[in-house]
Structure formats: C-alpha cells, structure tokens
Structure 1
C-alpha cells in the first residue's frame, strides 16, 4: 500500500541530534547532509510512484528515502530525514525490489512518463532557481558506455576454451567430432531444435527465452534452399543492432575510433554560460550506440553566425535554421544591378 513519507517534517523530542555534543552537531549542520535534505530530499515528489504499489497490504518503504539512496549510493541517514539513529531499518533487498518495480512498470507501460527522469527534471529546476543559473546558453555532447553484460558461465567458458584449442590443431589432425566444433551451423541447428521443443511448452519464462532465441536465429542464420538447413551468415551480413547478450537485449554493437563496443550512447545537454557560478546538466538521453552522434537542432534564423556554424561542425550538431532573421539588407540594390538571362529554357 502506498503512503507518502511526511514524518520527517514533524520534529521529535527523541531526535538523536538533541543529545549530540554541540561541536559534533555543529559539524553535522555544516556538512552536505542538510543541503541535500533541503534541496533534494524535500523536493522529491513521491506521488507518481504510487502506481508501483497496490491499495492493500503494509505501507511501502518511503519512496523519497529509496530515491535519495539511489542518488547518493550509500547510507547517509541525516540527509534523508532520519534524525533518530536506528529508527528505520533498510534491507538491501528493499532497494532491489524498488528498482525492479520501476523497471517492470516502465516495460509494461512504455507510453507513460519515465518516473526517474521526471524527478531529475524537477530537482534540476530547483537547483537552477536556487543558484540563479542561466539556461539561455547550453552545449551538447555524447559518450558511449559499455553494457553491464553478464559474464560468461562455465558452459560458455568451456566452449570458448574448446574452440580456441581446436583452432590451433592442424585440420588433418582433427577428428570428425572436433571438426563440428568449428562450424557455427552446428550450434545454430541445436538452437533451432531447442526452439521447436520450447514452442510447445507453455511458460512465461519460456516466452521470453523463445523470443530471444527466435531473434538470435533470425539475425545469425539463413535457410539453405538446397539442404533446407541453417547456414551461418557472414559477419558483414549481421546487423549492428543484433543481439549482443542473452542478458541485455537492448545493447548494440558499434565501432568508434577503431574500437568495437557493445552498449549504449549517452547524450547530455548542459548550461555553459560564463556568468554561471557552476554549470548544470539540464537534459539527458540514453539510446542504442548505433545511433549517430550528430544531433539535429532547429533554430530561428536570427541565431545564425559564422561562429555558430563553426561550433556546429566541432560538436557534430546539425543546425536547421527555420526562417529568416528579419534583418534589413545592409545595402539596397537597384533594378539596374540585375542582369536578365534571355537564354531559352
């Protein structure tokens, strides 16, 4: 059952800070914790997360504490409104369950707004207003990051070692059984046989497995019309958005700067006015790393200048100026300045 956490707004006689040494309490009040509490914790809107919980049962663990812990990634009690030491206990599983609830909700309702992203925007506006940050001038950049793909298990490791070993043996020394190891068709055929079996087994887990298996076969093989068996595609024929891991379906492959990477690309927008006391990230977007780094921005014609055009090239941004700036010509032209081309067309 969902319940907002407003208990921290009400003071208590039993607050641990009331019994602290005055010097320690003064240090605590000068630390980052009260700032985080006032400008982050107190500005978290818990209500959008009510969709993650049912209308019955025990009240949920405070969402504003869970989100705050995700932000700072380690336990800092005072910053999340806990002023009585030991008042609230948190198991690691509670954090994992909260992440799972958010993930499953986003997967089930992709058309709904991103719960975490909305909190980022709300808190960013608070910081911008408090610090008087100008957002008139902003810059954009992108970076790629690796997918947290699950490491190979014993079976996958055994196959890699076997494959490496077999490749070092001269072909005339290989047995017929070992020759099969070097044929990708052998594994693809086994995948196809497993697919035929699993299609007749009704299970939610099997449905996910079947979807991944079907995608893998389609991306990696074609049907040989003569033998009616699977034939492995050439590497150049495998799409860049092909499956990179059975544990991360969205990760894609891209070569950038001569290096291959399986993962994603992160685009970030940031304020960059020289008058700002510090700069703030105002927007971000995570996408498949096969998407181009070039960003399309549409601007009024009045923004055009040689300097803007130079920055456009330097930062891989494609600018589209949507209309004229309305500026009057610096020099008027007479009708006699024009030449008429009388050549028939």
Structure 2
C-alpha cells in the first residue's frame, strides 16, 4: 500500500456539504465539527506517517492518514468503539465535515481501517523503537500552544497508574498457565514424546482441578508439582522451541519464581525475593507490580506534562512505561527531553519528583524545578547557612558565623565533620537546629554538601512566591481524574506496553482536542460579546443611521 497525501481537504463545488439544506448546514457549522475541522484537523501532519507505507506509486493508495488520526481522536472524545466510530462517520455529516471527507464519493474507511493503522504503528515501533504517534500528539499540542498564544514558561507534572486489563493471578496460576501454554504449543507440533505424564494440561478442566478443587492440599505441594513439571519440560525440549514466546515465558517464570537448593533441588523462591518486574500474567508479559499510596497496582504508569498560563492549559508532553518506573526517573527524562532552554521555564511537581540530582540537572538546562516537598529525612532550613570550601574540603563557618578549629572530610561518603570549641556551641541558640553535638571538651557537626543543598531548597520553597506556584500544581491532578472517569484508561482493551501506549496516546490527543475546542468557543464568545453596535444620528439633512462595529 503506497502513501498518498490527502488531496480532499478543501470543499469543492460538488461537495456533499453544499447540497445540504440551509438548516442542516447551520447546525453543523454551530457544532463541535466546525472547530475540529478548522483547528484540530489541520494540525495533523500526515507526512510523518509516510514511513508506514510503501514508496511504490503503482501500489494501492492508503486511506487518508490525517482522516484516520482525526477519527481515532474523535473515537476517544465520544467514547466510541471502532464499529460505532465507523457508523458515526458513515451516517453523521458532522463527523464527515470534521474529517474533511464530505468531498469523497464514499467514505474512505472500512471496518478494518483503524485496527490496521494501529497495527502499523505497533510494528514500526517494534522495528525501529520510534513512536510516531507520540511524536505527533506532542507536535499537535505545540501547534495548539502557538494557536492560542499560551505562554510556555510554566509547566506542571503529575503521574497516573494505569491498570492492565489482564487478570490478577497468584503464583500458582502464573506457573500453571505458563506450563499449560507450553504443553499446548508442543502438542500442536505433534511432538508427543516430550509430553510424558503432562497430557492432563491439555484437559480444559485440569486448571480448575489443580488451582481450585484441591484446596485441601497444601498450596506448597501443588506449586512444587508444577515447578517440577516446568523444569522437566524445559530440560526435555532443550533449545528446539527457544523461539516460541510460550517457551520464553516458561523460562522467565522459572528464573523469577524458583531457585536451586544446595542439594540441587528446584523449589519456589521466597515471596520477599520476587522482583516487582516479575511476570504478573502470561497474557501481558510487560505489566509489572508496584505498591503506591498503600494500594497494589499491576500494569503501567504514565507521566503528564501540562503547559499552563492564565488563559488555558494544554498537555504538551507525556510518557508511558512499566509501573516500576519512578516519578523521579520521569522527571529526569522530561528535563533531558526539553533540553537547554533559551528563556527560563518553570516545572512544578509534587514531592515524588524531587531529588538534588534533578534540581541540578534542571538548573543546567535553564529550568527551575519546584516540588511541593522533598523525599526522605528533611534537614532544618538553618543548615543551608553552613559554608563549605569544596576545593580544600573544609567547613568555612557555621550558620552563626563561627569557624571550626578542625574539619575532617570523608571522601567516600562526602561527609564533613567540623569540630568547634564547646563553649562556642554550648549556649548557642541555633544548636538544636544546626545539629551540633556536645562532647566533653568540644562540639561537632556532621554535614554534607547535599544536606546544605536540600536545606537551601526548603528555605526557598517557604517563600510566598513558591507557595503560589505550588498551588498552581494542584490543577494538574484533574488530568488523571479525567483519564479515569471519562477516558476509561484502566480498561484499555489491549495488552502490552507498546499496544496500550498507542491507545493512551489517542486519549491524550482527545483531551487536548477538547481543551482546544473549549478555548476556541470561549474566544468566540468573548469576541461577539465585545462587539458593540452604535447608531450615530447625523444632524445634517435626514437622520441617517450609520452602523459602526467596534471590537
């Protein structure tokens, strides 16, 4: 299938829309379709996706890419299935007008158009590692920022846990499913000699019998039996089936869930030793486990970067990964992606994004990172006033201006031990805050450069300016709420990191499209509200009415 640019983007003389009655046209032009056609659709760069198609002009041309992407954004805006989306496009002129397809003799979509396009995105991502849809959604967001003249200097971040649609499984279920899947895969090849004493895994009722009907037996015994079957199966098969995904999952689960004792026996590993990255369900091998805010999560995590000013806000950046990926790592990746800024920008986030390393990286890129809190034990703000000489590795003075008579530096830990005269510290009003400890003849303070940095940051955060900025961050928490309540992000009907990210990207595009349409409607309302009609009556001759439009 060859890539062909969409030439049907302007209304032609024989356009179906022009043949509609005036009343219908009026309804369409007063609906969301007008804003989508004028603002959202033109922002889609279809040439970005030309790499998904053949460059042979003799082959069959593709369906218009910008119309497909626009349609999939509408799908998420109205919470439609693929079939409902296709029906809406075929039967609703608003959808056709929004997608600039009213000039087509027949709509350029079939019941497989959308799934095939997602499949192309998926395969291209696997092959190259490049996420074209992610690039496009962020590029469209930047178009909206310029279109609505949103000041890009302030951004805010938040993350959301995204549940996998796969079933929550116990260790026993995971191991049993992996063994059963491998047995069935071998059975299909006809190599029955490898399945000695394992034919019961082919029985549809065997799963329930093993997992649920044998509860009178200890779970450890049942688990051990399945582990031994799995181990025997891998030994029997060797590397002959190494390319099969079932075999790879079986090897993975044995590595994660078992260990070899000193006597050479394979046994279940202790639960505490199982990694959060371990297999949660064979149907979604990418999903990971994480406990956050006292809740168990199985699946993925997304990070949202929203650009905001007093007029509006747009999601200009996002990321999507397994849920073991930390907020701090997302923050680092976001700063690196933004790169060096010509004009200083501010990113506001919660305490989970904070670290001295991230703050330093942000400073290098002319980015001010503001977090609502710091993770870990907090120093006292007074400790920010210690002065160090990091060349000679000495403590120059304490917060009260006193110079220690001796400093010892521990290079491995970066710790400074400053010794002071006991009389100097004994009656000092700052002693309880600076961390000084009294001894028989002296007093000492343990301090690091990182502690001073953290204390300086805490002191800066307590100012009125930063209190205002921290309040701005609270608004971004509405995005995860919208993704859950309206976009149903926790019930994405596909599994796997790459596939589910494609669906998530369209949900982000839909949120931005709604924001853009709302801003356009508000701007239009303000414009018409400010137009004043004045009738000026002239005194010369007859009274003549002059209409003056003053915006």
TM-score (norm 1): 0.77
CA distance in 2, matches of 1:230, 1:296: 41
Q: How does 1:242-253 map to 2 (within 5 A)?
A: 242-253=278-289
CA distance in 2, matches of 1:157, 1:289: 34
CA distance in 2, matches of 1:88, 1:158: 50
Q: 1:287: which partner in 2?
A: 321
Q: 2:230: which partner in 1?
A: 191
2:3, 2:55 within 8 Å by CA — same for their partners in 1?
no
Question: Which moves more between the two structures, 52-61 or 154-163?
Answer: 154-163
CA distance in 2, matches of 1:38, 1:198: 60
Contiguous gaps of at least 5 residues in structure 2: 76-84, 90-94, 170-176, 178-201, 367-399, 409-551
CA distance in 2, matches of 1:344, 1:211: 57
How many corresponding residue pairs? 312
C-alpha distance 105-270 of structure 1, shift in aligned 2 (>3 A): same
1:192, 1:217 within 8 Å by CA — same for their partners in 2?
yes
2:63, 2:108 within 8 Å by CA — same for their partners in 1?
no
C-alpha distance 342-81 of structure 1, shift in aligned 2 (>3 A): closer
2:157, 2:304 within 8 Å by CA — same for their partners in 1?
yes
1:240, 1:290 within 8 Å by CA — same for their partners in 2?
yes
Q: 1:54: which partner in 2?
A: 54
SS at match of 2:276: coil
SS at match of 2:119: helix
For residue 164 of structure 1, the aligned residue among 196, 212, 216 is 212
Residue 123 of structure 1 pairs with residue 140 of structure 2: yes
1:145, 1:263 within 8 Å by CA — same for their partners in 2?
yes
Q: 2:244: which partner in 1?
A: 207
For residue 141 of structure 1, the aligned residue among 139, 155, 158 is 158
Q: 1:328: which partner in 2?
A: none
CA distance in 2, matches of 1:344, 1:131: 57
Q: 1:42: which partner in 2?
A: 42
CA distance in 2, matches of 1:221, 1:344: 51
CA distance in 2, matches of 1:264, 1:251: 6
1:163, 1:182 within 8 Å by CA — same for their partners in 2?
no
TM-score (norm 2): 0.50
Q: 1:332: which partner in 2?
A: none
Residue 23 of structure 1 pairs with residue 23 of structure 2: yes
Deviation by residue 1:250-306 (Cα, 9 ceiling, x = unmatched): 110011222211111111011232x22x21111101111112233546799xx9xxx
Contiguous gaps of at least 5 residues in structure 1: 172-178, 326-336
CA distance in 1, matches of 2:23, 2:320: 45
CA distance in 2, matches of 1:141, 1:95: 30
Q: 2:413: which partner in 1?
A: none
CA distance in 2, matches of 1:162, 1:247: 20
CA distance in 2, matches of 1:44, 1:241: 37
CA distance in 2, matches of 1:97, 1:247: 21
Q: 2:110: which partner in 1?
A: 91
Deviation by residue 1:43-65 (Cα, 9 ceiling, x = unmatched): 22222322222344311222112
**Residue 135 (structure 1) shift:** 1.6
Question: Which moves more between the two structures, 57-66 or 146-155?
Answer: 146-155
2:15, 2:102 within 8 Å by CA — same for their partners in 1?
yes
**Residue 83 (structure 1) shift:** 0.5
1:198, 1:210 within 8 Å by CA — same for their partners in 2?
no
2:156, 2:306 within 8 Å by CA — same for their partners in 1?
yes
CA distance in 2, matches of 1:95, 1:182: 48
**Residue 219 (structure 1) shift:** 0.7
C-alpha distance 34-312 of structure 1, shift in aligned 2 (>3 A): closer
Point out the structure with max Rg over C-alpha. 2
More helix by share: 2
CA distance in 2, matches of 1:343, 1:244: 56
